[in-house]
Amino acid sequence: CSSDLAPPRIIATQTLTLVNVAVDHCSPKTQEPRDRSNPVKEAVIVSTARTPIGRAFKGALNNIKSPSMMGHAIAHAVARAGVDGAEVEDVVIGSVLNAGTASMNVARLSALAAGLPVSVAAQTIDRQCSSGLMAIAIAAKQILVDGFSVCVAGGQDNISAVQGPYFDWATREADPAVVAHQQHAYMPMLQTAEFVARKYGITREQMDAYALESQTRSEEHTSELQSPCNLVCRLLLEKK
């Protein structure tokens, strides 16, 4: 199995690096090599980086500004990809708590904190809990459809710095026109989780068991990615 990179490339964060490639690798369904005369254009992640996760309000990271934290991950993802910062065409970052240190287009501020040139565009995506995943999907679409070559994408949130004031402000400024149609439209996710647990009688032990099952599945999937086809393709991408 092989993967031949075309000149364009991308990056995705909490940070990934994606690449625009003409792919000639094993079909995921048949494990048979694809026809080399008809390569498939794909967006490929070629590097990743993320910060550690600390305890909200008490951990070692609780006083770090959002652009500094996100910028740190972006800088390392770009460096690991072997891409010049000036090659990046867009930085797409998903974020839920877009206020305070994470305001004013945190994707743009993070790109600057990462040392990327001012010529690099950036956009912040707010789709709440799926914001980071949506950012990566948008970056992939930019590669596949819009003709971009290199993008950075991922997600960030700074609970310690933003969550309390953010929800207090949102509650005070709730729009009666919204509440008239949906009473609980402004309910934060954590309150929603508590409500669902009480309504359906979900115990802490059940939630812990589900979390363990999820982690186990993740580890099993990671092991599956070490198949010869995927491993060879990944190594070729890293060498590029």
Which helix (H) or strand (E) segment holds residue 43: the answer is strand 40-48
- Residue 139 is predicted with a pLDDT of 94
CA angle, corner 187, sides to 186 and 189, nearest 5?
125
Q: What is the pLDDT of residues 121-177, one digit of tens each?
A: 999 999 999 999 999 999 999 999 998 999 999 999 999 999 999 999 999 999 999
Measured CA to CA, the distance from residue 21 to residue 237 in angstroms comes to 10
Which helix (H) or strand (E) segment holds residue 40: the answer is strand 40-48
3-class SS of residue 122: strand
- Backbone φ and ψ of 152, nearest 5°: -110, 135
Measured CA to CA, the distance from residue 14 to residue 94 in angstroms comes to 9
Q: What is the pLDDT of residues 172-213, one digit of tens each?
A: 999 999 999 999 999 988 899 999 999 999 999 999 999 999
Of 88, 78, 101, which is closest to residue 17 (Cα–Cα)? 78
| Segment 70-99 mean pLDDT | 93
103 pLDDT more than 70? yes
233 pLDDT more than 50? no
215 pLDDT more than 60? yes
Cβ–Cβ under 8 Å, residues 151 and 9: no
Confidence of residue 66 (pLDDT cuts 50, 70, 90): very high
- Is this model's pTM higher than 0.85 or not? no
Tell me how many helices (H) and strands (E) the chain has.
8, 5
